[in-house]
């Protein structure tokens, strides 16, 4: 029964077909004993006889138990965006389990937007949508003229799948003061010299959001949005999830503190560096850490260094973009990055730093190296997020500096074909999200989905890392494939390690939280190509059972 909790102080023994623990000292078991919200014993039926007065529960007898999946890079806006129309090219599963059909043409996108306008009561209420990507509709750009056919009397904003670019209609451009004379970086122009309606990167979009009066990427967080996020995660077997870029304003923090206690997942928010000076950020982190609980864990800071590869806003080393596009945008200039990293590192704060291009990765590694020389700090676990184009030499440098990597494996499926043909070219595309290199080099690593950029589903993320198949069926860099066991570790204990939570979650062993993913089949026994098709029956989170709607 969904939401059923263990009785306080009672010891319950769950039997499963097999338990993959991710604990090398005892990698498999058939029984796990839970007292309150923690694991008290793992083993076989004979081991459980040492526990007095237990209650046996066999509901998982034909299921497979794993540590609850840990999604180390996702965003609470996954909960926000599902209140808006989805206009991406691939089918998506909504938090309530519904499957939303993808749109393959600009015409289909416009048609869905026009239908959505009819649902808005206020004549001036903005229409927001999300998920569009030009590379998935034959490279056709969405312009202000397209969006003007949806409405000329209300703002229309479409957030691209990367979440680094927003398309807007003419009215929105006018209100934000973007015109032919605009010189702000990230405002491309049409042939007539007027803005195209595409706004790229931080500078242009922060100006847009100031005009709107709020940031629609985070929205106004409330209990419904937060629980929608948690429900979507639990549906996929996730029991610990990040919100890896948030201003953490007081109202948001209040919602987190008030409502994470009854969520189906544990939440790890990251403070957005872009909206705080290091001095402000360090003081805020100090205050937030005092609010930490078993279900809510503050303390990390996110720095976004460059943009996205598919949006041509990532920073690349020579030879740059394969199709000759100009190099991307610095969201934080290297000199400023050096200063910010140094201050947070000295203060003992763990940093999670977004890089997509290899030039941006160099800048992060330079900054961490300088910080370590100035203020040596063991076990800092600074983590490069996405880290998509890292070379073997950069992974060796990560290893020497104690830096972790959280690789965006889903990118291989969704944008691998575009990287092969346009952004990276065949050789560099073959080593995108090089998880096997991280494994060989001994770099601590995880793999992730970056929801809502791609769907929440650790099993699909595993499938991407193990098979490395693009949407068109191309195998991209087979030498960088993980084994299913390596991929499973990356979405459990590996991700927990990057969050400094591996002492609490990520494996099934005594003393850790009773957080499990319950599957209908064994991912280590299924054929690699079938990983994404395994059904998640539900989760156990701190001893509380949540059966998925399809369970």
The DSSP-derived string for 444-506 is -EEE--TBTTS---HHHHHHHHHH-B-TTS-B--GGGPPPHHHHHHHTTHHHHHHTT-TTTSS
Cα–Cα distance list, 13 to 17, 196, 464 (Å):
13, 61, 34
Sorting pLDDT into bands at 50, 70 and 90, what band is 8? low
pLDDT of residue 379: 97
Portion of the chain with pLDDT greater than 70, in percent = 97
**Section 311-315 average pLDDT:** 94
Degrees to nearest 5, angle at CA 128 with 123 and 134: 135
Tell me the C-alpha distance between 454 and 447, whole Å.
13
pLDDT of residue 426: 97
Which range has the worst mean pLDDT, 93-107, 182-196, 469-483?
93-107
Cα–Cα distance list, 527 to 196, 447, 482, 487, 520 (Å):
47, 20, 13, 14, 14
pLDDT tens-digit map of 436-458: 999 999 999 999 999 999 999 99
Asked if 148 and 117 touch (Cβ cutoff 8 Å), the reply is no
Sorting pLDDT into bands at 50, 70 and 90, what band is 78? confident
Asked if 298 and 287 touch (Cβ cutoff 8 Å), the reply is no
pLDDT tens-digit map of 488-513: 999 999 999 999 999 999 999 999 99
Reading the block at residue 101, the tokens are: 């059909």
Other CB atoms within a 10 A radius of the CB of residue 86 amount to 20
Asked if 96 and 139 touch (Cβ cutoff 8 Å), the reply is no
Asked if 155 and 175 touch (Cβ cutoff 8 Å), the reply is yes
Show the domains of the chain with their CATH numbers: 1-68+512-525+538-551 (2.30.40.10), 89-160+164-212 (3.10.310.70), 223-505 (3.20.20.140)
Tell me the C-alpha distance between 110 and 89, whole Å.
13
DSSP H helices, 193-321, are 201-212, 223-234, 250-259, 278-289
pLDDT value at 96 more than 80: no
pLDDT value at 434 more than 70: yes
Question: What are the residues facing 353 on neighbouring strands?
Answer: 303, 384
| Bond prior to 319 in cis (omega within 30° of 0) | yes
Tell me the C-alpha distance between 454 and 10, whole Å.
40
Portion of the chain with pLDDT greater than 90, in percent = 87
Strands of 350-355's sheet in order across: 69-71, 238-246, 266-272, 300-304, 350-355, 383-386, 404-407, 445-447
Sorting pLDDT into bands at 50, 70 and 90, what band is 93? confident
**Section 72-100 average pLDDT:** 89
Nearest to 310 by CA among 291, 323, 299, 293: 323
pLDDT of residue 184: 87
User: Beta strand 536-541 with 99-100: parallel, antiparallel or unpaired?
Assistant: unpaired
Sorting pLDDT into bands at 50, 70 and 90, what band is 4? low
pLDDT of residue 41: 98
Other CB atoms within a 10 A radius of the CB of residue 528 amount to 17
Asked if 86 and 100 touch (Cβ cutoff 8 Å), the reply is yes
pLDDT of residue 219: 57
| Bond prior to 451 in cis (omega within 30° of 0) | no
pLDDT tens-digit map of 245-288: 999 999 999 999 999 999 999 999 999 999 999 999 999 999 99
Tell me the C-alpha distance between 259 and 256, whole Å.
6
**SS3 (DSSP) at 39:** strand
Sorting pLDDT into bands at 50, 70 and 90, what band is 242? very high
Question: What are the residues facing 296 on neighbouring strands?
Answer: 267
Sorting pLDDT into bands at 50, 70 and 90, what band is 551? very low
pLDDT value at 6 more than 80: no
Residue 179 main-chain phi, psi, to 5 deg: -150, -165
Q: What is the CA radius of gyration of the chain?
A: 23
Angle formed by the axes of helices 392-401 and 358-374, nearest 10°: 20
pLDDT value at 218 more than 70: no
Asked if 129 and 158 touch (Cβ cutoff 8 Å), the reply is yes
Tell me the C-alpha distance between 511 and 163, whole Å.
39
Reading the block at residue 468, the tokens are: 């490395």
Sorting pLDDT into bands at 50, 70 and 90, what band is 124? confident
pLDDT of residue 550: 64
**Section 535-540 average pLDDT:** 97
Question: What are the residues facing 57 on neighbouring strands?
Answer: 14
Nearest to 456 by CA among 238, 160, 221, 159: 238
Task: Return the sign of the alpha-carbon dihedral for residues 458, 162, 345, 367.
Answer: positive
Reading the block at residue 143, the tokens are: 């312009």
Which range has the worst mean pLDDT, 57-66, 87-96, 253-262?
87-96
Asked if 160 and 132 touch (Cβ cutoff 8 Å), the reply is yes
Cα–Cα distance list, 367 to 323, 339, 362 (Å):
30, 8, 9
Average of per-residue pLDDT values in the chain: 94
Asked if 413 and 471 touch (Cβ cutoff 8 Å), the reply is yes
**SS3 (DSSP) at 78:** helix
Nearest to 163 by CA among 386, 423, 451: 451
**Section 455-473 average pLDDT:** 97
Tell me the C-alpha distance between 487 and 481, whole Å.
9
Reading the block at residue 478, the tokens are: 């087979």
Asked if 164 and 200 touch (Cβ cutoff 8 Å), the reply is yes
Question: What are the residues facing 66 on neighbouring strands?
Answer: 517
């Amino acid at each position: 029964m969904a939401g059923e909790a263990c009785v306080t102080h009672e010891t319950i023994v769950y039997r499963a077909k097999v338990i993959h623990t991710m604990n090398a000292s005892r990698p498999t078991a058939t029984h796990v004993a839970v007292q309150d919200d923690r694991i008290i014993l793992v083993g076989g039926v004979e081991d459980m006889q040492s526990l007095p007065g237990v209650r046996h529960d066999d509901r998982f007898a034909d299921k497979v138990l794993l540590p609850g999946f840990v999604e180390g890079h996702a965003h609470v806006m996954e909960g926000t965006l599902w209140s808006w129309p989805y206009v991406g090219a691939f089918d998506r599963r909504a938090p309530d389990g519904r499957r939303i059909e993808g749109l393959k043409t600009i015409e289909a996108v416009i048609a869905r937007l026009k239908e959505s306008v009819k649902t808005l009561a206020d004549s001036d209420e903005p229409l927001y949508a999300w998920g569009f990507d030009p590379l998935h509709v034959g490279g056709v750009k969405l312009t202000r003229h397209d969006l003007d056919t949806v409405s000329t009397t209300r703002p229309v904003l479409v957030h691209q799948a990367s979440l680094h670019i927003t398309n807007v209609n003419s009215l929105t451009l006018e209100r934000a003061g973007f015109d032919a004379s605009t010189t702000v970086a990230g405002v491309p122009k049409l042939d007539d010299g007027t803005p195209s309606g595409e706004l790229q990167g931080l500078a242009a979009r922060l100006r847009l959001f100031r005009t709107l009066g709020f940031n629609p990427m985070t929205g106004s967080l409330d209990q419904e949005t937060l629980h929608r996020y948690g429900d979507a995660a639990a549906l996929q077997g996730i029991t610990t999830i990040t919100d890896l870029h948030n201003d953490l304003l007081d109202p948001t923090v209040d919602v987190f503190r008030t409502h994470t206690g009854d969520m189906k997942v544990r939440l790890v928010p990251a403070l957005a560096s872009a909206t705080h000076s290091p001095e402000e950020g360090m003081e805020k982190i100090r205050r937030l850490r005092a609010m930490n609980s078993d279900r809510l864990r503050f303390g990390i800071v996110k720095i976004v260094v460059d943009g996205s590869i598919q949006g041509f806003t990532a920073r690349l080393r020579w030879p740059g973009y394969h199709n000759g596009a100009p190099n991307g945008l610095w969201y934080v200039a290297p000199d400023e990055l050096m200063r910010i990293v140094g201050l947070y590192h000295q203060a003992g704060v763990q940093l999670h730093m977004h890089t997509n291009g290899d030039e941006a990765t160099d800048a992060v590694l330079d900054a961490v190296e300088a910080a370590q020389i100035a203020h040596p700090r063991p076990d800092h676990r600074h983590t490069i997020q996405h880290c998509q184009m890292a070379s073997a030499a950069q992974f060796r440098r990560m290893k020497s500096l104690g830096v972790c990597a959280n690789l965006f494996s889903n990118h291989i499926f969704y944008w691998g074909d575009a990287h092969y043909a346009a952004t990276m070219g065949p050789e560099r595309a073959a080593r995108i999200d090089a998880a096997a290199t991280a494994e060989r080099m001994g770099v601590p690593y995880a793999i992730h989905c970056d929801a809502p950029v791609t769907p929440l589903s650790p099993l699909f993320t595993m499938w991407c890392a193990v098979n490395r198949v693009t949407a068109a069926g191309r195998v991209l860099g087979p030498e960088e494939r993980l084994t299913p066991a390596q991929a499973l570790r990356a979405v459990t204990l590996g991700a927990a390690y990057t969050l400094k939570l591996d002492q609490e979650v990520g494996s099934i062993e005594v003393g850790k939280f009773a957080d499990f993913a319950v599957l209908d089949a064994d991912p280590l026994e299924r054929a690699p190509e079938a990983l994404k098709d395994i059904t998640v029956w539900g989760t156990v989170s701190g001893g509380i059972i949540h059966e998925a709607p399809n369970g």
